[in-house]
Amino acid sequence: MAIVLSSPEVDELDSALGALREWQHEGAPMQLHPGDLGWFRRFGAAATAAAVRTWSRHGRILAVGLLDGPDLLRLTTAPDARQDEELARRMAADLTGPERGVLPEGKVSVEAPRDALLQEVLRADGWDTGEPWTPLRRDLTEPVPDPGVRIEVVGPELAPERAAVQRAAFDGSTYGEERWQAMAAGPMYADARCLLARDAQGRAVAIVTVWSAGPGRPGLLEPMGVHRDHRRRGHGRAITLAAAAALRELGSSSALVCTPSANPGAVDTYASAGFRRMPEVRDRCREL
């Protein structure tokens, strides 16, 4: 049976999420995580379903992609399908042809596991490499040190403060309370926690959302941010420690995060919280 490309309906997203959870394991390269779909859910259920692509054979999902913007597809495959030539070539054709309904004409990017055959197929087809990103990992076998600041778990009553810190942490962000509500209403949030850090004066200074993929599997930080008026005071390290501790409580085996290598401050913040740098990764880029 041929490989089938599809975009799930809202009530079919659970299958894609289940596959993503199953594919998370220690030692895997940085890859699309269920938490990435959970964070995208801030745009609503219909938008999330419309942004997902799956590749299946004999009814089994072999690859899942998320259009994280109109020109960026972030994807991963089942571990045993990373070197599947039929899958790699079918995916490359779908990514290259705008008529396939995955990526448009013009400059586009694809994030894929570095050990996937798709990387080599795209390279041979003329796809270049993009800017480097630094993945980081913290093992959660041992207890995580106390962050040293007041940490609160965000619920509906704290959503306005959490949203305000998000906007103050990321230039151009339009994140509002309604986006948090949409995110928290998604099924992925059942395995997530949203945390807010306060300084000694009680001011909200940093936020993070963490996503578990289930006990014994790596969890993800997405996003983490510090209010622009409260930086360089250790709040980034503190909220990152709190994030690691929350994932450990959720049963995660490790905590993962990925940040642009061009942002050394972010890399250093994660490293200060016990995260270990892993080899840099780059997207595949093409311009038609």
Q: What is the pLDDT of residues 34-52, one digit of tens each?
A: 999 999 999 999 999 999 9
Return the number of other C-beta atoms located less than 10 Å from residue 277's C-beta: 13
CB 226 within 8 A of CB 243: no
248-265 residues labelled b (16+ CB within 10 A) or e (exposed): bebebbbbbbbbebeeee
Query: What is 4-131's CATH number, 2.30.29, 3.40.630, 3.10.620, 3.30.70?
Result: 3.40.630
Q: What pLDDT score does 287 carry? A: 85
Q: Which CATH number is associated with domain 138-281? A: 3.40.630.30
* Predicted TM-score (pTM) of this structure: 0.96
What mean pLDDT value characterizes the chain?
97
Q: Are 181 and 131 in contact (CB under 8 A)?
A: no
Same CATH fold assignment for domains 4-131 and 138-281: yes
Q: Where are the domains of the chain?
A: 4-131, 138-281
- Residues 177-206: pLDDT tens digits? 999 999 999 999 999 999 999 999 999 999
CB environment 20-55: b (16+ within 10 A), e (fewer): bbebbeeebebbbbbbbbbbbbbebbeebbebbbbb
Share of the chain above pLDDT 90, in %: 99
